[in-house]
Structure 1
């Protein structure tokens, strides 16, 4: 799923993944700042850009109810991949969190389907069950 509004459990799993990624992205911004300072730069640019990316990850965690929330999450993963040009270890952050994102989408969808099926079964049993007299 590249876009759309995920159902309840899928949305929670995706929010947990992207919010956790925000913390790691911010730490990556601190590393980029330190690397730039050792090379004689101020490091402020990398810290600001990384902080914006981290804040956007948190914002996306809350915006997954919107049709563009999942799409924004994919773009944030791509931005994390691009940050590997500054801090090469961010490539592994991308791999891990993109993998978790895909697992959350797939498994969350399956669990939401099972929960819907169980809810329908329960509703059918309660409507056809013995009536109290």
Structure 2
């Protein structure tokens, strides 16, 4: 019984988004450290926004099977880049991860196309050469 092939694009993008959840969590810790001596409400806002971003990164791979799922991924990339307004070193890290996300999506799409072509050629060969 043949299995439907899994999308490499979804697998690559899911991996990057999951890794970014860890990055967002550590950025939240860094932001909390930056505002450690601030008022309590500031620290609470840091944790709420940070953990919401972590949750969004964890939930985003579930939507990659939808056409708009990749748009959600790009919005999260922009939000991670904007986190550099609070923790300046996040600019370098978040731009690197945005490039990784772009590469994962584009290369995964290319590999999926090649796999579909290979499967089509294999099915044609099997049809023309019965056992």
Same fold (TM over 0.5): yes
Q: Extract unaligned runs of 5+ from structure 2.
A: 1-5
| Aligned equivalents of 1:87, 1:119: Cα separation in 2 | 47
Conservation of the 8 A alpha-carbon contact between 1:80 and 1:93: no
Whole-Å Cα distance in 2 between the matches of residues 98 and 41 of structure 1?
Answer: 33
What does residue 50 of structure 1 align with? 50
TM-score w.r.t. length of structure 2: 0.89
Give the distance between the partners of 1:9 and 1:65, measured in 2 at CA. Answer: 12
Q: Give the conservation status (yes or no) of the 8 Å contact 1:77–1:94.
A: yes
TM-score with structure 1 setting the length: 0.88
Superposed structure 1 runs of 4+ greater than 3 Å apart: none
What is the count of residue pairs matched by the alignment?
A: 124
Q: Which runs of 5+ in 1 are unaligned?
A: 1-6
Root-mean-square deviation over aligned CA pairs:
1.3
Deviation of residue 37 (structure 1)?
Answer: 0.8
Can you list the C-alpha shifts for 1:30-69, whole angstroms capped at 9, x where unaligned?
A: 110111014x333221121011001001111111112221
